[in-house]
Structure 1
Amino acid sequence: MKPANGVPRRHLPASPFKPPPPAPPVERFSVNDQVTHDRYGLGIVTGVEDEIAVVVDFGSRQERVTAPFKKLYKL
């Protein structure tokens, strides 16, 4: 049933009738994976700290990237 004015109702984020979208799965990295980072470029994973962080060698520098890995992509 549509409201009288024809505009659909707005759903609030805290509404119990609209569950929150599921969280995207955390990408898993392993040693020697080739990756790319939006800021640092191409690199190779040299260390993995559970699902908390990864250490990546970008050639000129090593960086520790923490989860969530929003800018780090596996190639």
Structure 2
Amino acid sequence: MPQFELKDLVSHDKYGLGSVIGVEEGVAVIVDFGSERLRIPAPYAKLCLL
């Protein structure tokens, strides 16, 4: 499972490019996609680091 840190740039299959604004280790990440902010729970299947 990938490890995310604040300000990491990420890509999501549905929402596109975003920036990590919150990390709940091993539980979820909060990502700002510009038009919306989403809490994405582990295991982050559709989220990848850029």
Q: Where on the TM-score scale, by shorter chain, does this alignment land: which range?
A: over 0.9
Higher strand share: 2
The structure with higher relative contact order (CA 8 Å, sep 6+) is: 2
**TM-score using structure 1 length:** 0.66
* Structure 2: segments with no counterpart, 5+ residues: none
Q: Give the aligned CA root-mean-square deviation in angstroms.
A: 0.4
Runs of 4+ in 1 over 2 A off after TM superposition: none
1:28 aligns with 2:3: yes
User: Between the two proteins, what is the percent identity of the paired residues?
Assistant: 52
After TM superposition, the score normalised by the length of structure 2 is: 0.97
How many residues get paired? 50
Partner of 2:20: 45
